[in-house]
Chain A
Amino acid sequence: MGFFHRHRGLTPYLLLAPGMLWLTLFFLVPLGFLAYQSLQSGSIDFGYSFTWAWSNYSDALRNYRGQFERSFLYAGIATLIALVVSYPVAYWIAFRGGRWKNLLLLFIVAPFFVTYLIRTLAWETILSDNGLVVRTLDHLHLLGVLGQNGRILSTGTAVVAGITYNFLPFMALPLYVSLEQIDETLIEAAEDLYASKWRAFWRVTFPLSLPGVVAGTLLTFIPAAGDFINAQLLGSPSTHMIGNVINSKYNDLIDYPAAAAMSFILMAIILAMVLLYARAVGTEKLTG
């Protein structure tokens, strides 16, 4: 260990080297290759070559505008529902969970232990045409609003329902973490100063939980916007998202440049939205 003593400044770099090398070689460099691929033209039969083909980008936006819009619409709705639905539960676990906190958290992450594709297929059963959900919605006269032709499956509703469920733990966990860290005496102080319970919540608890709201929204929205499994298994071609197009271009049609261009547009839009959102909320703790 004499070496480490003589070169103490080197130690952090030696610790970092293997992991950073891996991330550079298999994350950063591939992004460069994808960028290079996105500006190529040609065909699968004659091969692709680099020609600064910016038209890949404009074609993607022109031909698949609907899918792009749907991706962000579905992801946005699902994120909002997930936030509203899981906030009270995160609050309940954080403040009323007591000694059961860890067990309740286990319930929150339990869906993750069932293979993603299998739990999505389970939703196919739950939302099936003569199932309980469809019949209940029919009774409530909501089927016409949420479904199409008396069905929920293969509509946008089914896709949003699937996305919401599948990414829910990504929302609930960060919410719980930030709520759990709140000093309860602050809330008590607000109530001692005659704030109503409701007012104390909106003026003290909620602002203090904002880091969790931001983290949860991002962790839900980003994977949701790039998802294609829910749209594939629960939706129909008319509900396909940009992920479906990228997947079929890349894996079925072997149109790599188009798929690469769409991937970059997707990333750019997500990045822009994240930056705008972070600025709006004013949290600088994004990178932990």
Chain B
Amino acid sequence: MSTAEVTLPARRHRQSALARAWAFVKRHALTVYSLLFFAYLMLPIGVVIAFSFNNPKGRFNYTWQGFTFKNWQQWNAIPNLQSAITLSLEIALIASLVATALGTLIALALVRYGFRGRGSTNLLVFLPLSTPEIVLGASLATLFLNSTSLHFNIQFGFWTILVAHVMFCISFAVVTVKARLIGFDRHLEEAAMDLGANEWRTFQKVTLPLIAPAILAALLLCFAISIDDFVVTYFNAGSRVTFPIFVWGAARVATPPQINVIGTAIFAVAVTLMLGNVFLQRVRESKGAV
């Protein structure tokens, strides 16, 4: 009897704590789940960053052996790594500039003008996005391989990689800029025209500043896609080695931790840029600007 008297209040207390915990989980189930989801997303990234500080004994960097800064200090100690990164950066820079320029023009035509062949233009922009990369890579390589029979002698290398990257980046640029063009108020342009500005001046003074954020976003997106691309590049690179191709080759024989160093560095730069963008938007919104 006495034990029951003693334990009863305690049990009731525990029950209510449990009930409260259950109520909390029920109310915040979606939040708890989402946080777990983000943990899952971040897990491999954490591994990549952690293993850039690993001190592997063998040729492979798959098990944790000890902490070191050595890989960061000697990031370019692996033969051919630095030249691979340089090539990747050059290609990404040029390809994103060219693809964004071409893509912005297409987006302007698609949103601003009604013209014959709009449907097929949309289709031609959409098709590369829905074609598996391996098909894009193999078909473009086939064109270059057969170029001799057309009396062009195209050698695989820098230019073939660049052509390929511009090709698969254009559609992404069109989609990004188009979304912004559809979203904005055309009356602003009409007002400028009413006030006597011609088409070019209206574009320069009204349209361009308004779509500038989208153009910047397209540039960043194309840069990111280009620098990360492996499949299409692998088919069209010949003997040139970009950073992803370097990683691919390394994965077969040895994975130096310097690969993780570069991966971490690219990640850090990209996240900083994106955070800056988020922050800028926040500032702009709080100022009440468009």
Contacts and interface: CB of A to CB of B under 8 A. Distances in A.
The secondary structure that dominates the A interface is helix
B230 A117 contact: yes
Interface of B: 30-31, 33-34, 37-38, 40-45, 47-48, 51, 62-63, 102-103, 105-106, 108-109, 112-113, 115, 121-128, 130-136, 138-143, 145-146, 163-164, 166-167, 170-171, 174-175, 178, 198-200, 224, 227-228, 230-231, 234-235, 243-244, 247-248, 251, 255, 259-260, 262-263, 266-267, 270-271, 274-275, 278, 281-282
A115 interface: yes
Contact of B133 (A11, A33, A223, A259): A223
Nearest to A274: B130
Contact of B142 (A109, A110, A165, A256): A256
Contacts of B251: 117, 121, 233
Contact of B143 (A33, A103, A106, A116): A33
A102 B278 contact: yes
Given A228-B134, A263-B135, A23 B124 contact: yes
Given A24-B124, A226-B132, A126 B247 contact: no
Classify the secondary structure of B's interface with A. Answer: helix
B124 A118 contact: no
A91 interface: yes
B121 A229 contact: no
A145 interface: no
Interface string A86-101: 1011011100100100
B106 A16 contact: yes
Contacts of B171: 23
A18 B105 contact: yes
B134 A115 contact: no
Name the interface size band of chain A: 35 or more
- Closest 5 pairs (CB-CB, A-B): A226-B132, A19-B102, A12-B113, A30-B139, A113-B270
B142 A267 contact: no
Contacts, number: 235
A96 B33 CA distance: 13
Interface of A: 1, 4-5, 9, 11-13, 15-16, 18-20, 22-24, 26-31, 33-34, 37, 85-86, 88-89, 91-93, 96, 99, 102-103, 106-119, 121-126, 128, 165, 168, 218, 222-223, 225-229, 233, 243, 246-247, 250-251, 256, 259-260, 263, 266-267, 270, 274, 286-288
7 contacts: A4-B199, A15-B113, A23-B124, A26-B164, A92-B33, A111-B45, A263-B139
B266 A113 contact: yes
A125 B51 contact: yes
Contact of A20 (B121, B263, B266, B271): B121
A115 B235 contact: no
Nearest to A9: B115
Given A26-B140, A115-B263, 19 more contacts: A16-B121, A19-B174, A26-B163, A29-B143, A30-B142, A85-B37, A88-B37, A92-B34, A106-B274, A111-B44, A113-B271, A114-B44, A115-B243, A118-B48, A118-B263, A119-B48, A122-B45, A263-B135, A266-B134
